[in-house]
């Protein structure tokens, strides 16, 4: 199974999850610093990213891992509050610039292409204090930060991701409120944040397009947390429609405005509007874009970046009591199949990735696609001989190969999550997604390859897998 020549093989990380150095050299606080320092058992064992993998001081160790794998791409994120401690360009932290310059220069010197995410969940606390993503003011702040990054690093960085997983982020932060700033506004906050996230993304894409593209010749996109959904009962029309609604709320909610026409999917608009009406709201809880905004949002991504971890079965579930919440709005109930193995929320369904890729190709006019995250966690302690996990990766690569070969999907880059075991948000260090094991008890934070790392290196070297379809 030979992949197309020039196919990109990468791995991903994110600033708060690996860097540590939470207050080093003038870095400002992010919402994750504040949140993890508050304790209260909202994160596994009250763990924090204060040190994490220590990548702020151990970047050279990360580079060794990257080279050992032979990656063609490395995706990492910039810590906004390391660069701009209070979130604004009023004060710029040169030490932060130096840190990322070194990463970028080292990657390029080794022939590795950086894919850089501007924002991966870690809002500067100072901006959260002014209303965060619920406030429209964030659009300007984000755009200024993005322009600062393009002008500082864009001579060398050509592949940008503005915002990581706005869909999961808006839901967990301002809707159900389990991620900082932990502000539950169930049924409204997620939509309000999503609205601002989309506009902030679009604005920064236009800034790149009008101020930087000509000279820098790069590409800008946004990563969407994808997944696949199958009707629980394929013979039931209601379940098949429920599965369509599920993917519309999950993927198209962000992708349709950005890739197609500047507006939310009709089914999302009508579901939220009719539930809102039943609940006595004067208008839909889903905000509307003005005609001008639609024009501004439409067509603001240069490739389609998506994540795949898992699949769910979907059942139609009428919202009889008109309860509040995104799942109630979508009138869906999710479940899993008893035959699917899992570690926490990641149920292993390798064929789901092929279906998701095909869906994107069909819906979005066969765009260039990057899988910017895909992976399987182990629990803690994790075994270095992760044969079973490698089996999942292999099956996934087979499905990805079918998507390219048989479905003619225009997939150009695949990144695993993650290069290193790292701080897995509210699961702390209890879930290990790394290709490299990190000993979080040892101050030196040694990185040791799992079997999966060695096997992935072989795939990369051969640009494909053994065997045939
Ligand atoms: C994604 C996220 C990553 C990582 C991964 C595994 O949602 O972008 O930061 O934590 O999930 O849970």
CA 286 from chain center: how many Å?
23
Whether ligand 1 lies within 6 angstroms of the CB of 225 is answered as yes
Among candidate residues 61, 230, 373, 399, the one labeled active-site is 373
Give the Å distance between the CA of 280 and the centre of ligand 1: 36
Is the beta carbon of 308 within 6 A of some atom in ligand 1?
no
**Measured distance CA(85)–CA(453) in Å, rounded:** 35
Cα of 105 vs centre of ligand 1, distance in Å, is 26
Q: For residue 113, what pLDDT is reported?
A: 99
Q: Ligand 1 in contact with 56 (CB < 6 A)?
A: no
Residue to probe by mutation, ligand 1, list 43, 120, 306, 424, most atoms within 8 Å of CB: 424
Q: What is the pLDDT of residues 97-133, one digit of tens each?
A: 999 999 999 999 999 999 999 999 999 999 999 999 9
Give CA 202 to chain center in angstroms.
Answer: 17
CB of 433 sitting under 6 A from ligand 1:
yes
Residues across the chain? 469
Give one word for 110, left, alpha or beta, with left for phi > 0 and alpha for psi -120 to 50.
alpha
Q: Would you say 220 and 302 are in contact if contact means Cβ atoms under 8 Å apart?
A: yes
Query: By three-state DSSP, how is residue 154 classified?
Result: coil
Residue of minimum CA distance from atom 5 in ligand 1: 417
Which mutation among 417, 423, 432 tests ligand 1's pocket best, with the greatest number of atoms within 8 A of CB? 417
Please give the C-alpha separations between residue 345 and each of 309, 330, 378, in angstroms, as whole numbers.
9, 20, 12
Would you state the pLDDT for residue 468?
A: 86
Distance 304 CA to ligand 1 centre (A): 18
Give me the chain's average pLDDT, please: 98
Q: Where are the beta strands (DSSP E) in 182-268?
A: 219-225, 228-231
Instruction: State residue 95's pLDDT score.
Output: 98
> What mean pLDDT comes out for the span 25-34?
98
Annotated catalytic residue 266: no
User: What digits encode the pLDDT tens for the residues 56-96?
Assistant: 999 999 999 999 999 999 999 999 999 999 999 999 999 99
pLDDT of residue 266: 98
Q: Are 207 and 145 in contact (CB under 8 A)?
A: no
| H, E, C per residue of 62-111 | HHHHHHHHCCCEEEEECCHHHHCCCCCCCCCCHHHHHHHHHHHHHHHHCC
Confidence of residue 256 (pLDDT cuts 50, 70, 90): very high
pLDDT for 366: 98
Note if the pTM is more than 0.85. yes
What's the CA gap between 339 and 230, in Å, rounded? 14
Q: What separation in Å is there between the alpha carbon of 374 and the centre of ligand 1?
A: 9
Q: Which two tokens stand for residue 204?
A: 């920064």
Q: Which atom of ligand 1 is nearest to the CA of 121?
A: 9
Q: Whose CA is nearest to atom 9 of ligand 1?
A: 14
DSSP bridge partners of 10: 73, 415
Span 387-402, mean pLDDT? Answer: 98
SS (H, E, C) 381-427: CCCCCCHHHHHHHHHHHHHHHHHHHCCCCCEEEEEEECCECCCCHHH
- Closest residue by Cα to atom 10, ligand 1, is 424
The Cα 438–Cα 420 span in angstroms is: 7
pLDDT at position 156, please? Answer: 99
* Whole-number Å distance between alpha carbons of 250 and 234: 20
- pLDDT, tens digit, 9 for 90 and up, residues 153-168: 999 999 999 999 999 9
What's the confidence (pLDDT) of residue 70?
98
Q: How far apart are CA 448 and CA 450, in angstroms?
A: 7
- Read off the tokens for 139: 């659009």
> Which residues on neighbouring strands pair with residue 369, listed in sequence order?
304, 411
Annotated active-site residue 165? The verdict is yes
Per the rule left: phi > 0, alpha: psi between -120 and 50, beta: everything else, 280 is: left
Query: Catalytic residue among 128, 165, 331, 424, which?
Result: 165
Measuring CA to CA, which residue among 70, 96, 66 is closest to residue 83? 96
469 has pLDDT over 90: no
How far apart CA 355 and CA 227 sit, in angstroms, is 9
| Any ligand 1 atom below 6 A from CB of 417 | yes
Q: Quick one: what percent of the chain has pLDDT higher than 70?
A: 100
pLDDT at position 98, please? 99
Q: For residue 404, which phi and psi values (nearest 5 degrees)? A: -75, -50
């Amino acid at each position: 199974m030979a992949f197309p020549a020039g196919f990109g093989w990468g791995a991903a990380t994110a600033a708060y999850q690996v860097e540590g150095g939470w207050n080093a050299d003038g870095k400002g606080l992010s919402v994750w610093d504040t949140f993890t320092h508050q304790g209260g058992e909202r994160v596994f064992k009250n763990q924090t990213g204060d040190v994490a993998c220590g990548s702020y001081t151990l970047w050279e160790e990360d580079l060794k891992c990257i080279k050992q794998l032979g990656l063609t791409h490395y995706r990492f994120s910039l810590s906004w509050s390391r660069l701009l401690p209070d979130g604004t360009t009023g004060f710029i932290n040169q030490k932060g610039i130096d840190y990322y310059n070194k990463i970028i220069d080292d990657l390029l010197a080794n022939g590795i292409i950086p894919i850089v995410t501007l924002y991966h969940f870690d809002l500067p606390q100072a901006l959260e204090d002014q209303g965060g993503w619920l406030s429209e003011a964030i659009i300007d702040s984000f755009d200024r930060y993005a322009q600062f990054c393009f002008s500082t690093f864009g001579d060398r960085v050509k592949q940008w991701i503005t915002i990581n997983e706005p869909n999961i982020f808006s839901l967990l932060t301002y809707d159900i409120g389990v991620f900082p700033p932990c502000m539950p506004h169930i049924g409204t906050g997620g939509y309000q944040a999503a609205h601002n996230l989309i506009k902030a993304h679009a604005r920064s894409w236009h800034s790149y397009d009008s101020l930087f593209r000509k000279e820098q010749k790069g590409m800008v996109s946004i990563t969407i947390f994808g997944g696949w959904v199958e009707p629980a009962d394929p013979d039931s029309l209601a379940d098949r429609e429920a599965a369509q609604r599920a993917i519309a709320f999950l993927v198209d909610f962000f992708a349709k405005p950005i890739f197609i026409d500047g507006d939310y999917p009709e089914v999302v608009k009508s579901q939220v509007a009719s539930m809102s009406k039943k609940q006595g709201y004067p208008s839909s809880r889903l905000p509307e874009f003005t005609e001008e905004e639609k024009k501004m949002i439409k067509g603001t991504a240069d490739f389609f970046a998506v994540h795949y971890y898992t699949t769910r079965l979907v059942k139609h579930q009428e919202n009889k009591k008109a309860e509040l919440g995104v799942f109630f709005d979508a009138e869906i109930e999710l479940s899993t199949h008893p035959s699917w193995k899992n570690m926490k929320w990641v149920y292993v369904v390798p064929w789901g990735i092929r279906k998701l890729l095909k869906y994107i190709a069909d819906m979005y006019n066969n765009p260039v696609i990057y899988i910017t995250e895909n992976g399987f966690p182990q629990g803690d302690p994790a075994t270095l001989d992760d044969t079973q996990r490698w089996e999942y990766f292999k099956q996934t690569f087979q499905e990805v190969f079918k998507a390219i070969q048989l479905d003619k999907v225009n997939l150009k880059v695949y990144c695993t999550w993650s290069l290193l075991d790292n701080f897995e948000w509210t699961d702390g260090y209890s879930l290990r997604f790394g290709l490299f094991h990190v000993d979080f008890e040892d101050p030196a934070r040694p990185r040791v390859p799992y079997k999966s790392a060695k096997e992935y290196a072989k795939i990369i070297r051969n640009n494909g897998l053994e065997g045939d379809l």
